[in-house]
Structure 1
Amino acid sequence: MRKTPFVLLFLISCSISIFADIKLPALVGNNMVLQQQTEVKIWGWAKAGSKISISPTWETKTYTINTAKNGSWQTVIKTPIPGGPYQIKLTGDGDLTLNNVLIGEVWVCSGQSNMEMALRGNSSPILNANQIILDADHPNIRLFKVKSTSSITPLDNVKGQWDQSTSATAREFSAIGYQFAQILNKKLNFPIGMIMTTVGGTMVEAWMSKESLSAFPQVKIPSTLENNKYPHREPTALFNAMVAPLLKYNIRGVIWLQGESNRHEPELYEQLFPAMVNDWRKQWGIGEFPFYYGQIAPYGSKDSTRSGARLREAQLKDMDLIPNSGMAVLLDVGMENDIHFMDKTIPAQRFAYWALGKAYGIPGIGYQSPKYKSLKIDGNKAVLSFDYAPYLTSYRKPLILFEIAGEDKVFHQAKATIDKNTVTVMSEDVKKPVAVRYAYKEWVMGQLYNNDGLP
C-alpha cells in the first residue's frame, strides 16, 4: 500500500510527458470558434523534428506538418460553413483532442476602459446588467478574455481560455463586446467567437507596434519596462503582449473603443490611429478586414470646447483615412460626471449595425450617422446639408447645440431649424456667417438624428 502514491505519481508523470509533446497556444483550444469558409492557421510546439498530424472531424482529410528545429510548427486547414460542435485530433508522439469546436464568425473587441468594462460593472454600474446576464446562456457564443499584461518585445502566447457563454462567463466579459456578439448571433444564426483584449487608461501608442511608431519620432519607445509603475501605458507594451500573440488567429473584424486617454493630443491621435489600424491589418495578413470604432462619448465641462470635442473631430476625420472602417457615434450616451457611461447597449447596437449592414451586407439596416455634406450661405443664414440623412429630426426638441461665426471667427449661440435633410442656422449677432459648428463642447447630449435614429 505504501507504494501506491509513488505508482500514481509515476503514472501522472508519464501522462504529462505524453500529452505535453504537443503544446498549443491558449487561443487554440477547447470551445474555440474558427472563422468560417476560409483557411485558418493551427500552430504550436512539439519535439524538434517530429511529425504532427491534424484531423478535423468536419472533413476526412488529415493535415501533416514537420516541426522546425526549435520545435515550432504551423499549418493551414480549411473551414466549412458555420456549424459544429466538432473535434480536432492532433497526433505526434502523443495524442491531443480539441473538443466542442465551432465554425462561425470571429471578432476582436479592443480598446480602453469603456470597452473593457465587464457586465458585472464596478463603481460605475452597467445599465440593465442583471437582465443581460440572466439571458446569457448561449452555447453558440464563445468568449476569450486575454489577461492583461505588458511586454517590451512581442510575445507568442497569451493567458486566457475559450469559454461558452453562460451567466457566469458573460458577467466577466466586456459589456459592449458581449452584447455585440449576442446581436450578431441572433441575426446571423451563426456561432460567434469574441476575443477581448482591453486595458483601461491606455493611449493608442501602447497598442501600436515598434514598426508603426517608427514614423512618429516624437513618440519615445522605452528600452525596458522594469520598475515601471504603469507599464501598460508605454508605447508598444500592449501590442507586444496582447495583440502580437493573436495575429495568427483568423478573424472577421475588430470593434474598438479608445481615445479618452489621447484627448489632450487630438492632432497627433488623428495620425496615430489610422497608422495603428493599417499596421494591425498588415500584421494580421488577411486584408483590409472591417474595423469599426466608437467616437468617444461626451464627458466633462459643458462650457469647455477643449480636448474632448477636438478628439471627436479627429475621429470623424479618420473615417476618410481608414478604408473599410466605420464610426459608431456616441454623442448621446455620455455622462457629465462619469467618463464610464452606464449604457453599454447602445454602443454595442451601433457597432452591430455597422457589422450587419456593411460587413455582412444585410439590406434594410441603417448604420451610418448623418455626415456633413455642404454649407450654403443665404444672407445671414447658413444652410447645412447632410449625407445619410433623407430626413433629420430632433424629436421635437429645440436644437441648442449649433453655433455660428462670422469673419471674426467668434462663435455665437445660434437658432437652428430642420427642413427635411437640411438645417438652417442663424444668429442676430452674426450678419455674414462663414462657419458653423455643432456639439463642440466637452459635455453635450446629442440632439440631431437621421431617420434611422442615429446621431
Structure 2
Amino acid sequence: MKNNNRSLYKGLSLAAFLTFGLMAEAEVKMPAFFGDNMVMQQNTDANMWGTAKASSTVTVTPGWTSEVYKTKAGKDGKWKISIPTPAAGGPYTVTVSDGTPLTLNNVMLGEVWLCSGQSNMEMPMKGYKNQPVEGANMATLKSRNPNIRLFTVKRNSSTVPVDDVTGSWSEASPESVRNFSATAYFFGREIEELLDVPVGLVVVSWGGSACEAWMNDEMLQAFPEAAAKIPAVNGEIPSKNRTPSVLFKGMLNPLIGMAMRGVIWYQGEDNWNRAHSYTDMLSTMIKGWRNLWGQGEFPFYYCQIAPYDYAIITESGKEIINSAYLREAQARVEHIVPNTGMAVLMDAGWPEGIHPPKKQIPGERLALLALNKTYGIKGIGAESPVYKSMEVKGDTVIVSFDRAPEWIAGKQSFESKQFKLAGEDRVFYPAKAWISRSKVMVKSDKVPHPVAVRYAFENASEGDLFSTDGLPVSSFRSDDWPDERPIKE
C-alpha cells in the first residue's frame, strides 16, 4: 500500500511539475525595463515586446484608454506591438496577456531619456571612495519625487547581442537617488521641474568604457583598427569595458526600440589618446543608434570632457598626450551631426582627479540644451560661444566668436590668462589677452608676428571666458598643425 501511495505521489508530482512547466512557458515575459514604476514616453507610439506562448494572441490593455491592442506571437514566442500614448499622466496599469495576464503597476507617461557613457555618467550621487559629488548630500535629502523614475542597467559585457538587462525601476527618493547617476539625476530634476511632467531616466554606463565598446560590429567597420579587435562569439573579452562592441551587445542592445525622447552622453576620457578618430567615431555611433531606434534624429546631447592632468595616469617616460585634441574632436560633432549639442565643462574640471565633484553643472547644462533645443523654452542661453576666426593687426590677434549675441565675458575681469600665440616657428608663448566688446585681443612680446592663437589648449587648463549667460567657451586653436609643438613659458 505504501509503495502504491508512493507511486501515486510521484505521478501527481510529475503531473504538477509538467503543468507548472507549461504554465511557466505560457507566461508573458518582457525585458526588465518594462516593469512596475516605469515611465513610458508620452505622445508617441511606444513599442512593447517580449515572449509568450508560441503562436498565441497577445493583448495589451493600457489604463489610459478602453482600447485593447492585439498582436500575434511567433512560433518562437516572440512578439512586438506599438501602443499609442497620450499626454503625460498617471499612475496607470498596463496589462499584457496571452491568456495568463501580467500587470505592470504604477506606470507613468512622460519624458524618457537614455543616459550613457563612462564613469562620469556612472558616478553616483554618493560619489566614489575619496571622491565626493559636490552638494549631493542635501540634494539627495530633498530628492523624494514620485514623478522622477530611475532605472540603472547592471554592467554586462558580451560577445553576442543579449535580449534583456538586469535592473528595476524606482521612484526618486533619498535611498534610490544616493546610488543613481549624479549627472543624470541633476539633468532629470531640471526637466521634471521645468516641464512639470514625469521623467524616466535609464542609465546605461560603465566606468572607463571606450566609445568603441558602445558601437556594434557594423558601425565599427568604418574603423579597421577597432573592428579588428571585435571578439569572436563566445570568445575572450580582453577588457570588459573597452573591447569594441561588447557593451553595445551586453547592455544597449536590449534597449533598442524603447520609445524615448533622446540621449545624454558623458564619455571621452578613455579615448583621450585617440582624438584623431573620435569625431568620426562619435558621429558614426550617434547615426548608428538613430538608425537602429528608427524614431528619427532624436536629440543627442553630450558633455565635453573636463580639464584633468593626464600626466597623472601616464607611465614614466611615456609621452603625455594633450586631451585638448579630444575636446576639439568632441566640439566638431555638434557642427556636423544634426540635433546634437555639447555641454562645455572648462570651468568644472578637477586637475588632480578624472572624476570632477561638480556633477550638478554637467547635469544642468545638458538640461539647458534639452529645454531650449528640444522643448522650445526661449529666453535662456543653452549653447556656449564658439571660436569663429582670428585677424592679425600688427602684433595683435583679434579673436571673434559665434553664438555670442551679448558678447564675451571674463570670469572676474576683462582679461584671460589662458591664451598663447605662435609665429612662423610654431612655438607657442603665453600671451596677454583682454576682452574688447565682442572680441578678444591677444598679444605677446615674444611673438611680434603672430600666425596662430590657442585658448586653454592644455590638459588641465581652467577656462576663464564665458557667455554672459555663464556658459564657458571651449578650448580652441586657430591652427591645424598636426603635431604637438613646444610651449615656452
Normalising by structure 1, report the TM-score.
0.95
Q: 2:323 aligns with which of 308, 315, 335?
A: 308
Q: 2:379 aligns with which of 364, 367, 392?
A: 364
Distance (Å, rounded) in 1 between the aligned partners of 2:221 and 2:25: 42
Q: For 1:153-199, what per-residue CA distance to the aligned partner results, in whole angstroms no more than 9, with x for missing partners? A: 11111111111111111111100001111110000001000000000
The 4+ residue runs of structure 1 with deviation greater than 4 A are 13-16, 224-227, 301-305
Q: For 1:312-347, what per-residue CA distance to the aligned partner results, in whole angstroms no more than 9, with x for missing partners? A: 111111222221110000011111111111110001
CA apart distance, 1:230: 2.5
1:396 matched to 2:405: no
Distance (Å, rounded) in 2 between the aligned partners of 1:413 and 1:233: 37
1:293 matched to 2:302: yes
1:223 matched to 2:239: no
1:242 matched to 2:251: yes
CA apart distance, 1:218: 1.5
1:333 matched to 2:363: no
8 Å contact kept, 2:371–2:377: yes
Distance (Å, rounded) in 2 between the aligned partners of 1:404 and 1:167: 50
Q: For 1:343-389, what per-residue CA distance to the aligned partner results, in whole angstroms no more than 9, with x for missing partners? A: 10001010000000111110112111011112111111111111122
Distance (Å, rounded) in 2 between the aligned partners of 1:14 and 1:321: 56
Distance (Å, rounded) in 1 between the aligned partners of 2:215 and 2:310: 31
Distance (Å, rounded) in 1 between the aligned partners of 2:181 and 2:94: 28
Q: 2:359 aligns with which of 344, 360, 363?
A: 344
Distance (Å, rounded) in 1 between the aligned partners of 2:254 and 2:236: 24
CA apart distance, 1:89: 1.5
Match of 2:193 in 1: 186
1:202 matched to 2:214: no
Match of 1:267 in 2: 276
Residue type of the partner of 2:197? F
8 Å contact kept, 1:183–1:352: yes
8 Å contact kept, 1:176–1:348: yes
SS in 1 for 2:247: helix
Distance (Å, rounded) in 2 between the aligned partners of 1:216 and 1:388: 33
CA apart distance, 1:16: 9.5
Match of 1:254 in 2: 263
Which has more radius of gyration?
2
Residue type of the partner of 2:117? G
8 Å contact kept, 2:51–2:79: yes
8 Å contact kept, 1:265–1:307: no
Match of 2:476 in 1: none
Q: For 1:251-282, what per-residue CA distance to the aligned partner results, in whole angstroms no more than 9, with x for missing partners? A: 10111011111101100112211111110111
Distance (Å, rounded) in 2 between the aligned partners of 1:169 and 1:391: 42
8 Å contact kept, 2:310–2:321: no
Residue type of the partner of 1:452? D
8 Å contact kept, 1:18–1:94: no
SS in 2 for 1:267: helix
Residue type of the partner of 1:205? E
| Percent of paired sites with the same residue | 43
Q: For 1:232-251, what per-residue CA distance to the aligned partner results, in whole angstroms no more than 9, with x for missing partners? A: 22100001111111012011
CA apart distance, 1:306: 3.3
1:131 matched to 2:138: yes
Distance 1:395 1:215, change over 3 A: closer
Residue type of the partner of 1:156? D
Residue type of the partner of 2:344? V
Gaps of 5+ in 1: none
Residue type of the partner of 2:213? A
CA apart distance, 1:301: 6.0
Match of 1:415 in 2: 432
8 Å contact kept, 1:296–1:312: yes
Residue type of the partner of 1:192? V
Gaps of 5+ in 2: 1-8, 313-318, 473-489
Distance (Å, rounded) in 2 between the aligned partners of 1:384 and 1:188: 38
Match of 1:142 in 2: 149
8 Å contact kept, 1:111–1:199: yes
Normalising by structure 2, report the TM-score.
0.88
What is the RMSD of the two structures over their aligned residues, measured on CA atoms?
2.2
8 Å contact kept, 1:88–1:98: yes
8 Å contact kept, 1:19–1:96: no
1:45 matched to 2:51: yes
SS in 1 for 2:134: coil
Distance (Å, rounded) in 2 between the aligned partners of 1:273 and 1:399: 31
Match of 2:39 in 1: 33
8 Å contact kept, 2:231–2:237: no
Residue type of the partner of 1:250? A
8 Å contact kept, 2:148–2:198: yes
Distance (Å, rounded) in 2 between the aligned partners of 1:95 and 1:19: 13
Distance (Å, rounded) in 1 between the aligned partners of 2:21 and 2:366: 46
Moved more, 128-137 or 89-98: 89-98
